[in-house]
Amino acid sequence: MPIGTNVDRKMVTALKKLGFDKVFDTNTGADFTIMEEASEFIDRIKNGGVLPMTTSCCPAWIRFIEMNYPEFLDHVSSCKSPHQMFGAIIKSYYAKKNNIDPSKIFVVSVMPCVAKKFERTRDDMQGEEGLDDVDAVITTRELARMIKQANIEFAEIEDSNFDDPMGEATGAGAIFGVTGGVMEAALRTAKELLEGKSLEKIDFEDVRGEEGIKKAVVNIAGKDVKIAVVSGLSNARRVMEDLKNGKADYDFLEVMSCPGGCILGGGQPIKSSKTRSNVNVFEKRAKSIYKIDEKSTIRKSHENPYLKEAYKEYIGEPGGHIAHQLLHTSYAPREKYNLSQE
C-alpha cells in the first residue's frame, strides 16, 4: 500500500482475527500523557520547579540520559509513556468499571519502537496488585509478519472501529508519532489551561518538520516560553552538552531518539535504500499523521470526553495522588555499557 496510508482501522480488524478480545487506540493513552505532562509543566512554571523540563515518552532517550547525563534526571517529566499509562488504566479503572479481574487481562502494545520492549520491564511500570502495566510489546513490523503468517489478506479486509469506551482519541494524541508532535500537543493544552480561554490557533508550525533541532518561543499567559524539539540522539547530545556548559536556555524540551520521531522508529516497516532515495518516507508518513489530526473532531487532549470521565470517576486531579501512583514513574543513573575486550 502507498507509504503513509492510514491503516489503523484495518489493524483493528486484523487483530480481532488474530484473537484479541478488545483493541484500543494508544492515542487515547497519549491524551492521558499530555494531560499529566502539561499539568506537570504548568506546575513547574508556576512554582519555580526545575527547568527545562524534558519529555519522557521515548524509552531510548530515557536510557540515554540515565547513562550519560544523570545529573539532569530531575529535568525529565515523571510521566509514563502513552502505552504504559494506558496499560495501567486498563488494569485499574477499566477493569473495575467492567467487573474484570485485572490479573485476567493480558495487555499487548503494538509499537513502532524496539526500545518499548525494554521499557515495559522497568521498575515502576507495575500498577495495582503488582501487575505489569503492559504484558508484552510487539513492533508494527512483527505484527505485519503475524498477519501474513495467519494468511490474512490485509489490503482486502474491512475497516473496524476501536472498542469503546477507550477508542476515543484526539488529534493531539495522533501527532505524538512525529517529531514535534508531543510538544505541539502539550502546548495546546498548557496554553489553554494557563490562559483560561480557547485557543484561536492550535497549530504550532514552528515545531514541525524533520530538522534535528527546532527552536521556538511561544508566549503563554504573558510569559515567553523557550522550547526546543530534538530528534536523533546525536542532536540530543549536542543540546545536553550546551545545557551542561551553560550555552543554552530552554523551558521545555521534546526529545525523540529516532530521527523524525516514532514514524521512523526501529520497529517500523523497512523501506529499501532504492525507495528511500526516491521517496521522502518521513514526509509521507508525517503528512498522514497531520491529516488524522486535521480531520479529528476534537484536537486537544484535555477535551477528550473519555479522559474527562476517567479523571472524574477514578483518577481525580492531574498530578494528584492516584495519578502519581498510576501514571508516573521514576528514574535512576545507569552504568554505561563496557564494550572493551580483555
pLDDT digits (tens, 9 = 90+) for 4-54: 999 999 999 999 999 999 999 999 999 999 999 999 999 999 999 999 999
Average pLDDT over residues 125-145: 94
Residue 149 and residue 92: Cα distance in Å, rounded?
33
- Does a structural domain hold residue 327? no
- Does a structural domain hold residue 5? no
Specify the pLDDT at position 265: 96
Q: Which of 100-104, 108-112, 126-130, 180-184 has the lowest mean pLDDT?
A: 126-130
Specify the pLDDT at position 130: 87
Specify the pLDDT at position 127: 81
Taking each helix axis as running N to C, give the angle between helix 26-47 and helix 82-89, from 0 to 180 degrees, rounded to the nearest 10. Answer: 110
In the chain, what percentage of residues exceed pLDDT 70?
98
Residue 178 and residue 281: Cα distance in Å, rounded?
12
Would you report the helix, strand and coil content of the chain in percent, each value rounded to 5? 50, 10, 40
Specify the pLDDT at position 29: 96
Q: What is the pLDDT of residues 146-187, one digit of tens each?
A: 999 999 999 999 999 999 888 789 999 999 999 999 999 999
Specify the pLDDT at position 245: 96
- Does a structural domain hold residue 67? yes
CA 328 to chain centre: 13
Any idea what the CATH number is for the domain that residue 308 is in? Answer: 3.40.950.10
Residue 58 has pLDDT above 70, yes or no: yes
Specify the pLDDT at position 248: 92
Specify the pLDDT at position 340: 59
Specify the pLDDT at position 85: 97
In total, how many domains does the chain have?
Answer: 1
- Does a structural domain hold residue 107? yes
Q: What is the pLDDT of residues 196-233, one digit of tens each?
A: 999 888 999 999 999 999 999 999 989 999 999 999 99
- Does a structural domain hold residue 4? no
Average pLDDT over residues 244-268: 96
- Does a structural domain hold residue 341? no
- Does a structural domain hold residue 125? yes
- Does a structural domain hold residue 184? yes
Average pLDDT over residues 320-331: 96
Nearest to 225, CA basis, from 191, 185, 181, 178 = 191
Specify the pLDDT at position 339: 60
190 or 168, greater pLDDT: 190
Nearest to 100, CA basis, from 136, 131, 138 = 131
Domain that holds residue 179: 18-317
- Please give the order of strands across the beta sheet that includes 53-54: 53-54, 252-256, 223-231, 213-220
Task: Work out the pLDDT band at 191, boundaries 50, 70, 90.
Answer: very high
